[in-house]
Structure 1
């Protein structure tokens, strides 16, 4: 369809096919290491379906708070097992890190996934005291941005939000109507507008939109649209594309981690 290529990432990243296997290997090694020292609680259920589970990684000592990372994949693919190693940055800064999986389209609507992530954040907040920081990549960027909208998180959790960093977010879902993926999303204009953060007003919480300078123009636009609509921070990371822009989360000294926990 008209916008299929505009939103195709792998086709425009050299060696794209090698990224998922590397993510899987790095994530598995990270979970093993943290499990060995008793700092990983895996597959904690937060809902009724098998996909509604999360992994929780703990720092040494009492956590300063908890970061929640929500994965991407166009609401269609992946789960939390690909990304565990990205917890390393906030962990080294003394923060717990939770990574939820969620049901995927077409088994659930995008609006349904938003509700699942709100429930996951609520369960995490019940388990770890202190402030809550949210980051998410691509479709996950959309999902954490939705958490900033009044009424999505329960009133006992929303005031604890410390920061939100949507990374390469899908902020306006209306272009998805012009992609073949919409056969699985099942969006019409009303549903797309109802799930588009650019059309909403956020709570008073610090938001920094992050995107790689070498991403597809459509993703540069999506990030800019959200930053302009919300009047929030906007970082364009030089030399980064859609698959490696998230790597900064693994580094405790990165500006991305600082935006989350400082």
Structure 2
């Protein structure tokens, strides 16, 4: 589908981002090594926020009882500039958590942002349909929280499966008032998957159908197939960025490219960027570094939004 000029594409491999990194080639299983490194680094970055950098963290519940519907809000004790940055992790809707999601936080809190790192129920505890509904409730919580905390601007970012969930922000405009939409300044879609039609039968991505997908509901859950023409004018003040990496599969890169094109044709303000050198994982890992290419790009985009 995203290889129009090729036949016999190995979709199992194309939908596994770890197979396309150029790192750890000296290891017996480079694909496993890149994942192990990612989890280790991101957990260390998250732990360092409190233990090494003195960042304050507050865990809040946005829905549910005794489950993963919580969010960690990070800030410097003296910070109160009215800027909120919301981050949603990836993991194919079935892995990772907020303890592995802190890499993006430090450069932002140093500049006065409060950063909300979302955790969510994973499949198969919930179906992907239920997860998307729960994500809608999280979005409503974010806007309620913003009002309670005198937030003047909100920025969103989602990585991988988190970018897929983030598309729901524009898909439920009837639930978000015009006044609330005006607070949303930037949305970053990072390394996302936006079309599930090829994905759902793949054993490597969806073993034993733990996502509870079929040929019908995968269409309903694919942002690439949603009716984006409606209500885009009300998001005129929001700049979206669809980001991908050189060392991703053709499918992942083309899904990002096509998703950006779709949003643009629907009337949204959107930029597409393919980053040289990065893969699906270090584009997040290097967010911890002030002078990395990805951090500098994010900060520049945020700077434009606040001018």
TM-score, length of structure 2 as denominator length:
0.77
CA deviation map 1:4-51 (0-9, x unaligned)? 2111122333331222112112211213346x56x2113x11111410
The 2-side partners of 1:80 and 1:193 are apart by 29
Equivalent residue in structure 1 for 2:259, among 208, 216, 226: 226
Quick check: 1:132 aligned with 2:154?
A: yes
- Structure with max Cα Rg: 2
Q: Which residue in the other structure is 1:193 paired with? A: 219
SS at match of 1:234: strand
Which ranges of structure 2 fall in alignment gaps of 5 or more residues?
1-8, 25-32, 265-269
- On the 8 A contact 2:98/2:119 being kept in 1, the answer is yes
Instruction: Give the stretch that moved more between structures: 19-28 or 125-134.
Output: 125-134
Please identify runs of 4+ aligned residues in structure 1 that moved more than 4 A: none
2:173 is paired with a residue whose SS is coil
Query: Matches of 1:152 and 1:143 in 2, distance apart?
Result: 17
What is the deviation of 1:95? Answer: 1.6
Query: Is contact 2:243-2:256 (8 Å) kept?
Result: yes
What SS does the aligned partner of 1:148 have? Answer: helix
The answer on whether the counterparts of 1:41 and 1:56 sit within 8 Å (CA) in structure 2 is yes
Residue 133 of structure 2 corresponds to residue 115 of structure 1: yes
1:105 Cα deviation after fit? 0.8
Q: Which moved more, 1:78-87 or 1:195-204?
A: 195-204
Q: Find 1:141's aligned residue among 150, 163, 166.
A: 163
What SS does the aligned partner of 1:175 have?
coil
Q: Matched residues in 2 for 1:150 and 1:89: separation?
A: 31
Contact 1:134–1:260 at 8 Å: present in 2 too? no
| 1:153 shift after superposition | 4.7
1:46 and 2:91 are equivalent in the alignment: no
RMSD after superposition: 2.3
1:19 aligned to 2:66? no
Segments of 5+ residues of structure 1 without an aligned counterpart are none
Which residue does 2:279 correspond to in 1? 241
8 A Cα contact 2:160 2:190, kept in partner: yes
Deviates more, 1:89-98 or 1:166-175: 89-98
Q: Distance between the aligned counterparts of 2:115 and 2:71, measured in 1?
A: 10
